[in-house]
Structure 1
């Protein structure tokens, strides 16, 4: 499953005011009943008072997966890759949540449960000023 996520996200950069790659993670040290911001904060070592925003997966990728008439062929290929990535996430991870931590330099974690109840997903950074 980790290799599938790596392949699906390979070469993709999440666009904001900066472009960052996706990193795949698997937290196999404990099984979780619920995916909470507090759980993710603890896993990644951020302070518990870090600003958090939870967004829907489709909302997070809304711009990246929308094909536009004005896209050139390279951009259309990138859109297809993002559409495939979202399909892979939905196929292999359950209870998916996208959590954005911070304000300007935002750490993003796309977290879901594997079939054996471990937490896995993708992380990236977003810059919004």
Structure 2
């Protein structure tokens, strides 16, 4: 079940880049044994970040506010990608429960979109944002 979900996530994020000051691809994450009670400390440990890293939690729709909804300033490529980002959002929402989005760091920000699969594992996507 979890493998099916990670495959769907991979397919819906292929060739998509997260928009920020630099564009980064998405990587699929799957954590099976650590699935219960994901704390900030556990997340930092799983992602090899120092325990004192700055962590911010944001809403899924907020993360994709500039790429999953058409904006006046989008170029043609970005407009074409809006549909792909909407599909990615749907895939996340239809396959994962209790989705949380974690931003770790300040300028070079590691982003983790994590939710629970029906079988209780944790799965999702990671990417990077550059915000100066």
Per the alignment, residue 109 of structure 1 pairs with: 112
State the TM-score, normalizing by the size of structure 1. Answer: 0.92
The answer for unaligned runs of 5 or more in structure 2 is none
Contact 1:35–1:112, Cα closer than 8 Å, also in 2: no
Structure 1, unmatched stretches of 5+, are none
Offset of residue 70 of structure 1: 5.8
Aligned to 1:76: 79
Which of 16, 23, 29 is the aligned partner of 2:20? 16
Shift of 1:35: 3.3
TM-score (norm 2): 0.90
CA contact (8 A) 1:23 1:123 kept: yes
CA 1:20–1:71 in structure 2 vs 1: closer, same or farther (change >3 Å)? closer
Instruction: Tell me, yes or no, if structure 1 residue 40 matches structure 2 residue 43.
Output: yes
Secondary structure of 2:7's partner? helix
Q: Secondary structure at the match of 2:53?
A: coil
1:122 aligns with 2:125: yes
Matched, 1:30 2:40: no
Output one character per residue of 1:66-108: Cα deviation in whole Å (capped at 9) or x when no partner: 1135645533220000000000000111100110001111110
Please report the RMSD computed on the Cα atoms of aligned residues, expressed in angstroms: 1.4
Query: How many residues are treated as equivalent by the alignment?
Result: 128
